[in-house]
Structure 1
Amino acid sequence: MSSTTPDVPVLLLKTKSIPADGYQEIFAGWNNYLPTFLPVLEHRFREDALTWLKDVTSGGGFGFNETVEAPDRYGGIIFTSQRAVEAFTSIVESLDPRTRNELLPEAFPLYVVGPATARGLRSLGLKCQIIGEETGNGAALSAFMLDHYNRLPTSQTVRQDRKLPLLFLVGEVRRDIIPKSLQSPDLSQEARIGVHEVVIYETCEMASFHIDFARALEENIASEAMEQWVVVFSPQGCKAMLNCLGWLDETGRYRSEVPEASPLTTFIATIGPTTRDYLVSEFGFEPHVSAEKPSPEGIYAAIENYRNTNSETQL
Structure 2
Amino acid sequence: MSQPPSHGQVFLQLVHDSRMHVLLLKEPREEASGPDPYIKELASHGHKATLIPVLSFKFVSLNTLADKLFQPEKHGGLIFTSPRAVEAVKMCLEESKKRKEEWSKFLRDQWNTKPIYVVGKATAALVQNLGLTPLGEDTGTAEVLSRVIIEREDTNIPPLFFPCGSIKREVLPTALREKGVPLETLTVYQTSEHPDVEKNLRNFFTEQGIPACVAFFSPSGVKFCLELILRLSGDRLTQIKFAAVGPTTRDAMAAEGLCVSCTAEKPTAEHLAAGISDALL
- Scaled by the length of structure 1, the TM-score of the pair is 0.68
Instruction: Choose 162-171 or 76-85, whichever is displaced more.
Output: 162-171
For residues 103-122 of structure 1, the aligned pairs below 5 Å read 103-105=107-109, 106-122=112-128
- Once residues 19 and 238 of structure 1 are traced to their aligned partners in structure 2, the CA distance between those partners, rounded to angstroms, is 28
Letter in 2 for 1:269: A
**Which residue number corresponds to residue 55 of structure 1?**
67
For residues 22-33 of structure 1, the aligned pairs below 5 Å read 24-29=36-41, 30-33=44-47
1:205 to 186, 193, 198: 193
Give unpaired runs (5+ residues) of structure 1: 65-72, 152-161, 249-253, 257-264, 311-315
Q: Residue 39 of structure 2 contacts residue 50 of structure 2 at CA under 8 Å; is this kept in 1?
A: no
- Once residues 246 and 125 of structure 1 are traced to their aligned partners in structure 2, the CA distance between those partners, rounded to angstroms, is 46
Cα displacement (A) at 1:269: 1.8
Q: What per-residue deviation string (whole Å, max 9, x for no partner) do you get for residues 83-129 of structure 1?
A: 2122122223345444323112132332102222112222x250x22
Distance 1:280 1:197, change over 3 A: closer
**Which residue number corresponds to residue 6 of structure 2?**
none
The alignment partner of 2:94 has SS state of helix
1:147 to 148, 151, 158: 151
Q: Residue 170 of structure 1 contacts residue 201 of structure 1 at CA under 8 Å; is this kept in 2?
A: yes
Q: Residue 232 of structure 1 contacts residue 238 of structure 1 at CA under 8 Å; is this kept in 2?
A: no
**Rg comparison, structure with higher value:** 1
Across the aligned residues of Structure 1 and Structure 2, the Cα RMSD in angstroms comes to: 3.4
Identity of aligned residues (%): 28
The alignment partner of 1:181 has SS state of helix
**Which residue number corresponds to residue 243 of structure 2?**
269
- Once residues 22 and 78 of structure 1 are traced to their aligned partners in structure 2, the CA distance between those partners, rounded to angstroms, is 29
**Which residue number corresponds to residue 160 of structure 2?**
166
Cα displacement (A) at 1:20: 8.3
Letter in 1 for 2:159: P
- Scaled by the length of structure 2, the TM-score of the pair is 0.75
- Once residues 139 and 304 of structure 1 are traced to their aligned partners in structure 2, the CA distance between those partners, rounded to angstroms, is 27
**Which residue number corresponds to residue 53 of structure 2?**
39
Distance 1:176 1:6, change over 3 A: closer
For residues 1-315 of structure 1, the aligned pairs below 5 Å read 8-18=20-30, 24-29=36-41, 30-46=44-60, 49-57=61-69, 60-62=70-72, 73-94=74-95, 96=97, 97-101=100-104, 102-105=106-109, 106-122=112-128, 124-126=129-131, 128-150=132-154, 163-184=157-178, 187=179, 192-221=180-209, 228-233=212-217, 234=219, 235-236=222-223, 237-247=225-235, 266-276=240-250, 278-279=252-253, 282-283=256-257, 285-307=258-280, 310=281
The alignment partner of 2:50 has SS state of strand
Letter in 2 for 1:172: S
Distance 1:53 1:280, change over 3 A: closer
Distance 1:100 1:32, change over 3 A: farther
Q: What per-residue deviation string (whole Å, max 9, x for no partner) do you get for residues 168-225 of structure 1?
A: 11222223232233232xx5xxxx432111011112223431211121233435xxxx
Letter in 1 for 2:213: W
Distance 1:206 1:183, change over 3 A: same
Give unpaired runs (5+ residues) of structure 2: 1-15
Count of aligned positions: 254
- Once residues 272 and 214 of structure 1 are traced to their aligned partners in structure 2, the CA distance between those partners, rounded to angstroms, is 26
Q: Residue 276 of structure 1 contacts residue 286 of structure 1 at CA under 8 Å; is this kept in 2?
A: no
Task: Considering Cα pairs closer than 8 Å and 6+ residues apart, tell me whether 1 or 2 has the greater RCO.
Answer: 2
Q: Residue 62 of structure 2 contacts residue 92 of structure 2 at CA under 8 Å; is this kept in 1?
A: yes
Instruction: Choose 274-283 or 212-221, whichever is displaced more.
Output: 274-283
